[in-house]
Chains A and B, each alone.
Chain A
Amino acid sequence: MSDQAYDVVVVGSGAGGAMAAHTLTKLGKRVLMLEAGRDYDPVTETPMFNSPADAPLRGAPTPDKNFGYYDATVDGGWEVPGEPYTMADNTEFKWWRARMLGGRTNHWGRYSLRFSHHDFKGFSRDGFGADWPFEYDELAPWYDRTEELVGVCGTNTGLDDMPDSSPDILMPPPKPRVPELLVAAAAGKLGIPAAPMHRAILTRPKDDRAACFWATQCGRGCSIGAAFQTTTSLIPMAKATGLLTVQTDAMVRSVEVDAQGRAEAVTYIDRKTGAPRTVAAPVVVLAASACESARILLNSKSEQHPQGLANRSGQVGRNLMDSTGANMSAVIPALKGRPIYNEDGHTANHLFLPWWGHDMQARGELDFARGYHFEMSTGFKPPGGYYPEKLQGYGVEMKRRARFDYGSQISLALRGEMVPNADCYMEIDDAVTDRWGIPVAKFHWKWSEQELNQVRHGLATARDIFKLLGADVPDELPDPAEAIKKGGEIIHEVGTTRMGTSPKDSVTNQWGQAWDCDNLFVMDGGVFASNPHKNCTLTIMTLTMRNASWLAEQLNKGAIA
């Protein structure tokens, strides 16, 4: 098994896998990318302007398409056909997957916020969880490079929760819209700043990609390439080097090791035939998403690695984190009957409310350690499905009411940081296999007081904002234990192969290199040491760019032979 056709085998084609392949091929390495899903072409397959009236059930969500008919997800969602996962008693965990080239980058929200100085040093600040094995300053130049390559719009604000990018890195953000300006003013009265959202959306053309034309939901994908997805950017760019081979329908089962316990091959199931295949792999990069990469490691048991590959610490699958989530919405009477204009913009947040409470936390004034932000959902959306209040009567009068109420609802969505805890982890369920015969993941989950207190604070803040806007909202808050979204539901799962400074309590070093296997790397959210509230994907890509560059250097030096 040493035909050495490739320098590196990369598993996965999403945020992590595509960035790894792009970085490595640009640095002259030959890469084989193995992707479980089917090939996918956003240019021809994206239903850009199609109207709900053209879709079955007006595009309503169904068990086949959980986020609506037009959502880009192929063969996935909260369930993947033939590929179940299990949960421990008293656990509710949701795991969103997609089986397509580009993975979940084809339909993600594209919110792309940098982690900040304190995010990398949570343990040092408050004693919870673990620090990252480096400082923000180490990552800052890589954030610049990633933002430039990916294309991110936004503004430098100087806020302590939003580190500035270097000059000329960010593309200009779009103008804020009326309901956002209204929320910003109410928040301002409470001492909470609003800021332009950073989104991986081009507002200027770049490479072969056009700038956003301010229409069509990005969750469908973007055929003009304005909304970042790896299938219109990193993957074609990596292919253009001539050094990338993409194998789709390749469901990786395990990494095989040699007598020394080093990786030497990858075994996958050809989904078209069901047959197993093994390819030689001088270096393996796992980027199948945090829980899938951990699953592959745990399923790669050998004499040399009896607890699963790279798991001498016992930490593979542990430290599983998602973001906290809770939504609160209200009808704003003053918005009823307001002048209509084209409020699509880039069809997601132009403004949001970043975390404002670091100082309060440092002073010990809050009963939770980590921050959150608010995203908003509001505006004159494509009609159908947005009647903020119960319709009354029938006929012309009923229609008049529906028109009058249009665009008067605002939802605030809390997205917060959780602290890792011993009750949240994944393992392998030895009793259940998927349709390919591969043992499946089993989840354990329990929120701690940290998260519930944070959500309580957020619900109170949202209520206070709505009150300032004249909405009729109850004083009494919902129970945070009811209001908090389920584990996994925010789709920011990370931490299952965390990086650290010691092989005792972490799976990889700061380069994503497994402590127990020097030619095995993890380049997805699995390596996160903590899960700051600022949506994980920009940091997955940034870390991957940095670590894949380091990997290429090691290969050049012959340090990983």
Chain B
Amino acid sequence: MSHETPEPGITRRQSLKWLAAVTAAVTTPLITGCEATVIKAAKLAGNWPDLQLQPITAEGYGTDPTLNPPVQAPWPLTMTPHQRKLATAILDLMIPREGDFPSASEAGVVDLVDEWVSAPYPEQQETRPEILSALVWFDEESQRRTGQSFLATSAQQQRAILDDVAYEEAESKLQYAYISRVFDGLRSLAAIAYFSSPEGVKDMGYVGNVPIAGDYPGPSPEAMTHLDGVLNDLGLLDYAYQEPVSG
């Protein structure tokens, strides 16, 4: 492909990175062995629920769906009410309401996660047991710590669990190695879904996708000033781009 302009939304690279991370990169300094052994040990140490699920058999949208206006995903949503409630709680901790900007669930992120785990395509099917197992893990971890389900426990306790799994350091602790990877994947999915929602686009500050009459205006004066500062810092001012003179 000659153009390197991926569409917005979830790129293949992004989601594959996640999967690779979950299945292959669970390596901790505490244990050595082949990939399968490490993953097994991490799952065991982390009380990973490891749900075994029936494959989704619904149809995809096919190779010629209507793009304008786009059609809804034809496959049925499959998350249970309890799974959706749990997902709402966790995703809203990840992306809470912030001033005028909505929370994850308000921005449709839970719906997207449900659509994602219910989709018949291989990539989604591979992440489905990871995401749904993670929901169970949060519930069980809460039980282990507080004797209460994740939804019933206090906001403080909920955060305490997230604090243990949401940072890179968690990967080096065997008991959190697996969940922290899945959490990272879920967080990427949530962030992508949120920031590509109409409100999330504003939150990010993106100002494009609006028609402009006449010539493209180019960088703003502030952006050019900033660029000059960067070129100066990097010792590149002497090499600043000059428009070609010929023709």
Interface digits, A384-406 against B, CB 8 Å rule (1 contact, 0 not)?
11110011111110110011001
A317-364 contacts to B, CB under 8 A, are 323, 327, 334-335, 338-349, 351
Please report the number of residue pairs spanning A and B whose Cβ atoms sit closer than 8 angstroms. Answer: 355
- Tell me, yes or no, whether B81 is within 8 Å of chain A by CB: no
| B19 vs chain A, min Cβ distance (A) | 13
A175 touches B218 (CB 8 A): yes
**Bound Cα distance A203, B193 (Å):** 33
Q: Number of A residues whose C-beta is below 8 Å from B? A: 126
Q: A395 touching B96 by the CB < 8 A rule?
A: yes
Asked if A417 CB lies within 8 Å of chain B CBs, one says no
Q: A172 vs B218: C-alpha distance in the bound complex, in angstroms? A: 14
Question: Is B124's CB within 8 Å of the partner chain A?
Answer: yes
Most buried by A among B11, B71, B245: B11
Most buried by A among B12, B70, B123, B167: B70
| Bound CA–CA A212/B237 (angstroms) | 32
Indicate if A53 sits at the interface (CB-CB under 8 A): yes
Q: Which residues from chain B contact A70 at a C-beta distance below 8 Å?
A: 7, 67, 70
The answer to whether A508 has its CB under 8 Å from any CB of chain B is: no
Which of A75-83, A237-245, A419-427, A439-447 forms contacts with chain B?
A75-83
A340 to B, closest residue via Cβ: B205
Instruction: List CB contacts (< 8 Å) of B1-32 with chain A.
Output: 1-12, 14-15
Q: How far is A396 from B224 in the complex, measured between Cα atoms in Å?
A: 29
How far is A344 from B153 in the complex, measured between Cα atoms in Å?
Answer: 46
> Does A74 count as interface, using CB distance less than 8 angstroms?
yes
B230 close to chain A: CB less than 8 A: yes
Contact call B2/A185, Cβ cutoff below 8 A? no
Contact between chains at B201 and A383 (CB < 8 Å)? yes
Selected interface stretch from B38-46, B47-55, B140-148, B207-215: B207-215
Given contacts A62-B121, A185-B236, A396-B96, contact A384 B8 (CB under 8 A): yes
Asked if B204 and A403 make an inter-chain contact with CB atoms under 8 angstroms apart, the answer reads yes
Asked if A480 lies at the interface with its beta carbon under 8 angstroms from chain B, I say: no
CA distance A67 to B197 in the complex (A): 20
Type the 1/0 row for A71-105, where 1 means its CB is closer than 8 Å to any CB of B. 11011110001000000000000001000000000
Shortest beta-carbon distance from B35 to chain A in Å: 19
Nearest B-chain residue to A199, judged by Cβ: B3
Report whether B208 and A344 are in contact in the complex, using a CB–CB cutoff of 8 Å: yes
Nearest residue (CB) in A for B246 is A158
- Report if A415-B2 is in contact (Cβ < 8 Å); known contacts: A57-B115, A340-B205: yes
Q: Is A157 part of the binding interface, using a Cβ–Cβ cutoff of 8 Å?
A: yes
Within the complex, which residue of A195, A384, A391, A413 is in contact with B193, where a contact is CB–CB below 8 Å? Answer: A384
B236 contacts across to A, CB distance below 8 A: 182, 185-186, 188-189, 468
Binds B, one of A3-11, A43-51, A509-517: A43-51
Q: Would you call A392 and B241 a contact (CB within 8 A)?
A: no
CB distance from A27 to the nearest CB of B (A): 30
Q: For the complex, what is the distance from the CA of A203 to the CA of B241, rounded to whole Å?
A: 22
Pick the most buried of B6, B12, B226: most chain A CB atoms within 10 A of its CB.
B6
B196 and A383 form a contact (CB under 8 A): yes
Q: Is the CB of A341 within 8 A of B215?
A: no
In angstroms, how far is the closest chain B Cβ from the Cβ of A560?
Answer: 35
A62→B126 CA distance, assembly (Å): 13
Contacts A380-B208, A387-B191; is A182 near B230 (CB within 8 Å)?
yes
* Complex A-B, nearest 10 residue pairs according to Cβ-Cβ distance, in ascending order: A156-B247, A384-B196, A109-B3, A175-B218, A377-B4, A382-B8, A59-B9, A52-B9, A188-B239, A56-B73
User: What would 11 A/B residue contacts be, using CB atoms closer than 8 Å?
Assistant: A46-B68, A48-B68, A56-B119, A59-B10, A68-B9, A108-B3, A170-B247, A342-B207, A351-B241, A375-B4, A380-B208
- B residues adjacent to A (C-beta < 8 A): 1-12, 14-15, 60-65, 67-73, 93-96, 98, 108, 112, 115-116, 119, 121-124, 162, 166-168, 184, 187-188, 191-193, 195-198, 200-201, 203-213, 215-220, 222-224, 226-227, 230-231, 233-234, 236-237, 239-241, 243-247
